[in-house]
Structure 1
Amino acid sequence: MRFTDLFVKRPVLAIVVNLVILIAGLQSIRALTVRQYPRSDMAIVRVSTTYVGANADLVRGFITTPLERVIASADGIDYMESWSAQGLSTITVHLRLNYDTNAALTQIQAKGAQVRNDLPPEAEAPIIELETADNQFAAVYLSFSSADLDQNQITDYL
Structure 2
Amino acid sequence: MNPSHIAIRNPASVFILVLMIVTLGSSAYRGLPREAAPDIQIPLLIVTLPFPGASPEDVESLVTRKAELALQNVDNLEEIKSTSAEGASTITLEFELGFDVDDARVKVREKLDEVRPELPEDMEDPIISEINFSEQPMLIV
- TM normalised by structure 2 equals 0.64
Q: Where in structure 2 are the equivalents of 1:1-158 lying within 5 Å?
A: 41-134=41-134
The DSSP-based 3-state class of the residue aligned with 2:41 is coil
Alpha-carbon distance in structure 2 between the residues aligned to 1:83 and 1:69: 14
- Does the CA contact (< 8 Å) of 1:81 and 1:92 recur in 2? yes
Alpha-carbon shift at residue 42 of structure 1 (Å): 1.6
- In structure 2, the gaps of 5 or more residues are 1-32, 136-141
Alpha-carbon shift at residue 62 of structure 1 (Å): 0.5
Alpha-carbon shift at residue 36 of structure 1 (Å): 6.4
The DSSP-based 3-state class of the residue aligned with 1:90 is strand
Alpha-carbon distance in structure 1 between the residues aligned to 2:78 and 2:34: 26
- In structure 1, the gaps of 5 or more residues are 1-34, 136-158
- Does the CA contact (< 8 Å) of 2:70 and 2:111 recur in 1? yes
Q: Go from structure 1 to structure 2 and tell me whether the alpha carbon gap of 1:46 and 1:71 turns closer, same or farther (over 3 Å shift).
A: same
- TM normalised by structure 1 equals 0.58
RMSD, aligned CA: 2.2
Q: Go from structure 1 to structure 2 and tell me whether the alpha carbon gap of 1:69 and 1:117 turns closer, same or farther (over 3 Å shift).
A: same
Alpha-carbon distance in structure 2 between the residues aligned to 1:61 and 1:125: 18
Match of 1:12 in 2: none
Alpha-carbon shift at residue 50 of structure 1 (Å): 1.2
Partner AA of 1:108 in structure 2: V
Name segments (4+ residues, structure 1) moved above 3 Å.
35-41, 132-135
Which structure is richer in relative contact order (CA contacts within 8 A, separation 6 or more)?
2
Alpha-carbon shift at residue 123 of structure 1 (Å): 0.8
- Percent identical pairs in the alignment equals 28
Q: How many residues align?
A: 102
Q: How far does the alpha carbon of each residue in 1:78-129 deviate from its partner, in whole angstroms, 9 at most, with x for none? A: 1011000111100011111111112111100100111111100111111111
Q: Go from structure 1 to structure 2 and tell me whether the alpha carbon gap of 1:131 and 1:39 turns closer, same or farther (over 3 Å shift).
A: closer
Partner AA of 2:50 in structure 1: T
Alpha-carbon shift at residue 40 of structure 1 (Å): 6.2
- Does the CA contact (< 8 Å) of 1:63 and 1:119 recur in 2? yes
Q: Go from structure 1 to structure 2 and tell me whether the alpha carbon gap of 1:44 and 1:81 turns closer, same or farther (over 3 Å shift).
A: same
Partner AA of 1:111 in structure 2: K
Alpha-carbon shift at residue 70 of structure 1 (Å): 0.6
